Amino acid sequence: MPRHSAIDSHVLIYDGDCAFCTLWVNRLREWLPVFPDAKTSQSITLDSFALTKDDVEKYAWYITPSHQYAGHLATSALLRAQPRFTLRLLGRLLATWPISWIAAAVYAFIARFRHKLPGGTPACDPATPLR
């Protein structure tokens, strides 16, 4: 019988036009023991997740039945949903002061320059006119 977990009702939403984002979603899917349903922001009805176009252009989102997490907190929530203690601990640390401030700054830096990072393309540039 297949094993079902609470993560079955969780969703990771990311920019599918961004090669850097797609690369990292695929890597995390391979590395993490459990992974939620991943959807591109272009393939969903944003209203059904109470998100706006601006929301999904700025952040990746981790949606659970009771919460919405953006940016570094989405990463934190994804890690906290893992069965391994070390991954859950890392997820908690990412959401705890002062590490949370550092994680937010790192996320903002990566999001801003993702088009220049390995795997990035000009489509990843947040300064590119809306698609």
**pLDDT (tens digit, 9 = 90+) per residue, 60-109?**
999 999 999 999 999 999 999 999 999 999 999 999 999 999 999 999 99
Q: Which residue has the higher pLDDT, 113 or 4?
A: 113
Report pLDDT digits (tens) over 114-129. Answer: 777 766 666 666 666 5
Q: What is the DSSP annotation of 37-84?
A: EEEEGGGS-GGGGT--HHHHHH--EEE-SS-EEETHHHHHHHHHTSSS
Distance CA 23, CA 46 (A): 22
Q: Residue 129 carries which DSSP code?
A: P
- Listed by start position, the domains of the chain span 7-124
Exposure b/e, 19-55, CB count within 10 A at least 16 = b: bbbbbbbeeeeeebebbbebbbbeeeeeeebebeeeb
Placement of tokens 């998100």 in the chain = 51
What's residue 3's pLDDT?
Answer: 44
Query: What pLDDT score does 2 carry?
Result: 42
Q: What is the pLDDT of residues 22-67, one digit of tens each?
A: 889 999 999 999 999 999 999 999 998 999 988 988 899 999 999 9
Q: Which residues, in sequence order, are bridge partners of residue 127?
A: none
